[in-house]
Amino acid sequence: MNSTQPDYLQIPLGKDAHQKAEEFAAEQDGLDKGKQVYLNTLAVYAVNNYLKWLSIETALHQSDSWNWSTRTFFDIADLMLPNVGRIECRPVLPGEEVVVLPQEVTQERIGYIAVRFNKQLDFVEILGFVPARPIINNSEIIEINRFESIDILIDIINRRKMKVNLCQWLEGIFNQDWESPELVLAGSFRSTATMTRQYQDSQTSSISRAKVVDVGRQIVLLMELTPTNSAVFDIRLRVYPAENTLHLPQDLQLTIFDESGDACMNTQAEIANDWMQLEFDCQHEEKFSVELKLGEISIIEEFIV
């Protein structure tokens, strides 16, 4: 008789993993909380090692599970993936057939990985991945048989790496080609006067980054993100001339496309414009793209909030 038990990927748990788990568990007041932190730490450690083996960039020390105060007060096992988002690595003990999601991990996650332990805690099995969907976010339990291939996570990572993740800017994680506006405009004659004039009304909670874009002429694209008291983010896009030129090239077009690919906002540089901008708002996880077009040349930048 052939066994129908699926073959799961096994990840060994070495001495270093247990040392880190013991360190985090020892910080807790009670035995139950210590056990919870111990298993969460091992689950995150195992998934982190697996993704590193796949040459996928992780940011372990920027994960909430690696933050003393957060793991002390919440049941979390997240792993930060730069420019992608957070995945939740939930421990599954032998004999368990469901994954229970604490309320604190049902938001701000791109999905969930089930990590099953053996009795000796010397290895784990990666049972699969479930993308975050509204039906999951309203539930606290996922059956093991609902977990899908880990390849789905790899596909999501590859797709999201092509997009700029704006929410990660609020956590100090930036794409390498997006730099501080002051640095991008350093040496420009407009770097002091223009920046002072345009930023004096910005809120202190706003995060701004800029990059140089070449559409036959070099221009500076500046993105300003401002969180609000709700799940909505205010976004301001500005375009400045670069190369120490006075004005934007005439007929330069700035267009915003929604995630369906429909153009929803547009502006165009006229004679002697020294900057132009568009302002709009987006909800968390909303996607949009920005097109800069001059003549036959166009550059598209993709974003996710």
All domains in the chain, ordered by first residue:
9-162 (no CATH), 171-304 (2.60.40.10)
Distance CA 256, CA 277 (A): 11
The model's pLDDT over 94-123, given as tens digits with 9 standing for 90+, comes to 999 999 999 999 888 999 999 999 999 999
Mean pLDDT of the chain: 87
- pLDDT in the model for residue 97: 94
Band of the pLDDT at 133, cuts 50, 70, 90?
confident
- pLDDT in the model for residue 174: 84
Distance CA 286, CA 109 (A): 14
The model's pLDDT over 69-79, given as tens digits with 9 standing for 90+, comes to 999 999 999 99
Residue type, 58: T
Stretch 251-260: mean pLDDT: 90
Residue type, 213: V
Distance CA 225, CA 211 (A): 15
Distance CA 268, CA 154 (A): 38
Region of 233 on the Ramachandran plot (φ > 0 left; ψ -120 to 50 alpha; else beta): beta
- pLDDT in the model for residue 3: 47
> Does residue 199 register a pLDDT over 90?
no
Distance CA 58, CA 63 (A): 9
Stretch 29-48: mean pLDDT: 97
Q: Is the separation of the CB atoms in 65 and 88 below 8 Å?
A: no
Stretch 58-64: mean pLDDT: 93
Stretch 284-290: mean pLDDT: 88
Say what percent of the chain tops pLDDT 90: 54
